[in-house]
Structure 1
Amino acid sequence: MQYRLLDLGIDTERQRVTRGEDVLPVSGLSFRLLAFLLTQGDRVVGFDELIDQVWAPAVVGEETVTQRIKLLRQAMGDEGRQPRYIRSVRGRGYQLAAMPRIEGEPLPAAPRRRWPWWLAVGVAGMFAAASAAYVWTHRAERTPAPDPRSPLLVRASYYAAIGQRDNNERAIELYTDALNEAPLDRDAMLGLSRAMSARACLYNGDRDDVERGLELSNRLLAIDPVRAAAWSAKGYAQDCAGRIDEAMAAYARAVQLDPADDATRASLAYLHQEKGLLSQALHENLSMRGDGSKVRFREVQIGRELELLGFTANAQMRLERSFRLYPDNVFSNLAWPRSLFLQGRFAQAASELAVAQGRNTPHVELDLLSGELALQRGDRVTAEAAFHHAASLRPLASLPTTLVGIYGPAGVDPAWTAERIDEFNHQSAGGTPWPSQYLELAILELSRNSKPAAVAAINRAIDAGYRDQAYLQVSPLFIKLAGDPGFAHALDRIAADVAHQRAEVLNASWRPPDLPPPSR
């Protein structure tokens, strides 16, 4: 379709903007933004709608929209203070400064003659009426229904959905204000529960944040015990607290109550992945009831499951694409450098990790990977600094503290090591640790040169569902076990189970079409 906006001609099929004979440098995301605004007439379009229609499935903030509007204006020669084409509406969004019109088919050449004035007015009136009907009909179709929630909750939900630390803090403030105004507001309880858990899980918060999230979800369930979203919030809090079995039970209950809740289904799939149920997790992530692309971490999870199942090329394609598309997603930033590390591509992993660390999504796992890469190249000083930074980000996390104690300049203190091992065994006796947590026990045993005990800890991890054979082979934290028969047997255990699950995937009716055909 071709539009006319004042003196600009816009060809949406060719993605071309012209002013007279000049072609303006409007392309890519800027053209998509302009094209969407053209479909809205001169209606004010809010930030949320622009993000949903132009940027989705990427999750961005208002600042990104503002910056793109600035670039679009520059390309069109527009001025923000005296706009000709795009006007900002304070606190609401943007609108075109003039009503665009659709250019019709050119009329065939004919002798020029003057129409009677009454016919000209009649034809103009018909076109004006048709245009008005078209614009107002489509405006009504595209205008979202009023949101019944309070403005505080609307803005809190917006900030919480962006997936960035500062915006999550804004959401917490707004949800708290909403809950202070209405202490029994269920949406406020739900939103604050998830935001508090996210602070701990994604943005290096502490145990108090998790417990606050759990307390709010339990309070909501006491009022509304069949609300699926409340069970999902409880599962998220238990997930962030490291209580994997409790989290799985809550997520499963949420999915049972609301089978269309794809986000919770993906969370449950992630825990199945961590428990070693790779085929099941992949199937769940591929079996979304709605638009799976809107589930923020789904693509990373699918890539990780394919990686663990040995479909390295397919996993690499997904993880690298996610790394490029979602620079604000901490898990995308971690998954791609870690995948390169697992393939033994250490220099490239370090390069991509540097990119990830420059994106302002700090996370303890990024620093741990940085430390392991430093150890791999023999740089203990840099490794110690990375482990120290990880420990400072999340002081209550156990593994960073253990690595600081082992790789610090003072050397390993046998009494400290024995105390850490006793503490781990005591805590694991009172609950079900995540499978990967047993690897910390193996690292502690290796620090006092007890290979049999380290292998026993790795076997406990495998029993609990740990399935990352590549990491055990590549990480410098386990280099002392190279050539150990017991360690080789443990790796064989993982390989046998993964081969079985890989065959399940290849022979399943739901197998991804880009996987290689099953061997006959």
Structure 2
Amino acid sequence: MLDDLSVDSQARSVRRGGEPVELPDLSFDALLALLEAAPHPLSVDDFARRVWRLEHVSAETVAQRIALLRKALGDDPKRPRYIRTVRGAGYAATASVARAEADTPPPSLWKVQPSRLAAAASLAIAAVAVTLGALGGERETPGAAHTGPQSETAILVHRAKQQLALHQFRETDRALALLREAVAREPENFDARLALSFALTTKATKFGGGLEEKKEAEALARALIAAEPKSSGAWSSLGYSLDAQGRSNEGLTAYRYAYRLDPTNASALSSAAYVHLIQGDLHQALMLERQAQEAGGASRYAEIQIAQALELIGHPAAEAWRARALSMNPGQVVVLSELARSHLRRGEAEAALEVLDQTRGEDRSAPIILQLRGRAALMLGRHDEARRSFEAAGAWAAWDLAALEAGTGENPPTEAWLAASTLSLEEKRMSTWSRVALAEIMAGLGREVEALDALSQAVDLGWRDIAWLKQSPYLRELMASEEGRRVVDRVRLELEAQEELIMATRSLAEFIDLPAPSLGGTL
């Protein structure tokens, strides 16, 4: 007992006044650790060992978990009822903890056969893996009760999924290490290989991995499908890896089949929506996002994807969806990076930097964050700072660095980089973003015809972001030319057609205009 909370360590349940308080597994573990240590505080290292079963996690990771636990319990950190912050020492339970032994096992457990419990637990663990779709995963949900000792491999996989759920730069690396160990222990373990496939693509798409990780993720997914052809999670994983390689149509087919196999796999549907978004089919993207939410959920980044689509057509509801995304994912790298891009589209470099400053701890050095810092600095005329950011981002910002060097007259390094790259080999699979980046490099080199050709190819593939082109520090002069204006006019016509389709679909128009929750703070 902690104040008015009743915590059952066997049933892994929390009640207040007889009413259940739902907690995810990691939050319950953190609460239990606090109770077991009471009245003494737990340090960050204590939490790492007791909750994550690791030697080290960052202070920001622990702080985020405590914040989530406090929110679930309705605990005000300024006037704490359950958890207090002990300056320099960590966190502790606020009140004395009383222990009461249960006379009988909890009804929710003893009425269920152990075999069914084990099946439910394995399904719950598998569901976690399916949540890491094309732009992340579903929101955190309470885990199933632990019903007995787990194998060392199962523990490694479970902890890795908890790390991945944090959606942080270094935690993703740590999750990969745990999953590689799990696969080394049990090479045929389906859950471990599925989680590893998702984790590899997550690393590659959000935190600066490369083609090697994407190919490994694809190989794992195909092996899983060969073993279990009707696994929705394996098909989702295949779609994720294909999409990450620029093979969008193949990825779209895999996502759709994953949803067909399991209509509750809303994250696969939302991932398919993202593919339509980058292909320029905004109407279909929004239709699938609506369908995903009607199916009972969506990917973690559904709100920011919806905001992206609405911003492209200039819909006023975009701001509310952005606010909702930030409220549901505070401090999250992908959401913050898209918010920063939104400011860059409007030429608001200082505001973009303020958004990027909201990243926490090691996420500040995530390649995607460093790349956007470099572009913001470049827009402000701070070329040296931009170069340092691009260099720190590594391969993730190689295109930007090449464009910067071309724009400052350093043509030999840029030409050498182009010659050494695999552009010719990968041309058919280059994404719209890559083609726009190539246009930026060509514009810097003064090769305007080739720059316009790359832009035209990007539009053919679905590029619809006029504002990004106009605000690009490399393309401004080109976009102001007669040829550049023709590209803009072509995209504008496409967007007007999309807007008309969207607004003519009544159910979609109503979905877009759903009132946003009351939010504090500013973007």
TM-score (norm 1): 0.71
- What residue number does 2:403 align with? 403
Contact 1:236–1:247 at 8 Å: present in 2 too?
Answer: yes
How far 1:217 moved relative to its partner?
1.3
Equivalent in 435, 443, 447 of residue 446 of structure 1: 443
- What residue number does 2:355 align with? 352
How far 1:185 moved relative to its partner?
1.7
Change (3 A) 1:156 1:359: closer
Q: How does 1:166-245 map to 2 (within 5 A)?
A: 166-245=170-249
Equivalent in 310, 322, 325 of residue 314 of structure 2: 310
Query: Match for 1:412: what amino acid?
Result: E
Change (3 A) 1:368 1:220: same
- What residue number does 1:342 align with? 345
Contact 1:506–1:515 at 8 Å: present in 2 too?
Answer: no
Q: How does 1:46-125 map to 2 (within 5 A)?
A: 47-48=25-26, 50=28, 64-66=64-66, 75-76=80-81, 85=95, 87=97, 97=98
Equivalent in 254, 258, 262 of residue 262 of structure 2: 258
- What residue number does 1:38 align with? 16
Query: Match for 2:195: what amino acid?
Result: G
Tell me the SS of whatever aligns to 1:436: helix
Aligned mates of 1:286, 1:364 — CA distance in 2? 31
- What residue number does 2:432 align with? 435
Change (3 A) 1:51 1:293: farther
Which stretches in structure 1 are left out of the alignment for 5+ residues?
Answer: 11-34, 54-59, 88-96, 100-130
Contact 2:283–2:501 at 8 Å: present in 1 too?
Answer: yes
- What residue number does 2:478 align with? 481
1:216-266 Cα distance to aligned partner (Å, 9 max, x none): 112212211221211111122222333333322322332232232111111
- What residue number does 1:412 align with? 410
Aligned mates of 1:193, 1:236 — CA distance in 2? 9
Tell me the SS of whatever aligns to 2:451: helix
Aligned mates of 1:317, 1:289 — CA distance in 2? 17
Change (3 A) 1:223 1:86: farther
Residue identity (%): 22
- What residue number does 1:146 align with? 147
Contact 2:331–2:360 at 8 Å: present in 1 too?
Answer: no
Aligned mates of 1:487, 1:217 — CA distance in 2? 42
Change (3 A) 1:376 1:292: farther
Q: How many residues align?
A: 435
Contact 1:159–1:171 at 8 Å: present in 2 too?
Answer: yes
Which structure: larger Rg?
1
1:187-242 Cα distance to aligned partner (Å, 9 max, x none): 11111111122222222223332222222112212211221211111122222333
The Cα RMSD (Å) is 4.1
Aligned mates of 1:300, 1:214 — CA distance in 2? 26
TM-score (norm 2): 0.71
Query: Match for 2:221: what amino acid?
Result: S
Query: Match for 2:381: what amino acid?
Result: G
Aligned mates of 1:280, 1:291 — CA distance in 2? 16
Query: Match for 1:417: what amino acid?
Result: E
Tell me the SS of whatever aligns to 2:477: helix
Change (3 A) 1:294 1:457: closer
Aligned mates of 1:320, 1:370 — CA distance in 2? 21
Change (3 A) 1:294 1:269: closer
Equivalent in 312, 332, 337 of residue 335 of structure 2: 332
Query: Match for 1:210: what amino acid?
Result: K
Tell me the SS of whatever aligns to 2:159: helix
Contact 2:301–2:325 at 8 Å: present in 1 too?
Answer: no
Aligned mates of 1:470, 1:43 — CA distance in 2? 46
> Per chain length, whose mean CA-contact separation is higher, i.e. which structure has more relative contact order (CA < 8 Å, sep 6+)?
2
Contact 2:303–2:321 at 8 Å: present in 1 too?
Answer: yes
Contact 2:207–2:368 at 8 Å: present in 1 too?
Answer: no
How far 1:415 moved relative to its partner?
8.0
- What residue number does 1:270 align with? 274
Query: Match for 1:306: what amino acid?
Result: L
How far 1:452 moved relative to its partner?
3.0
Change (3 A) 1:226 1:44: closer
- What residue number does 1:155 align with? 159
Asked if 1:385 is matched to 2:382, the reply is no
Query: Match for 1:436: what amino acid?
Result: W
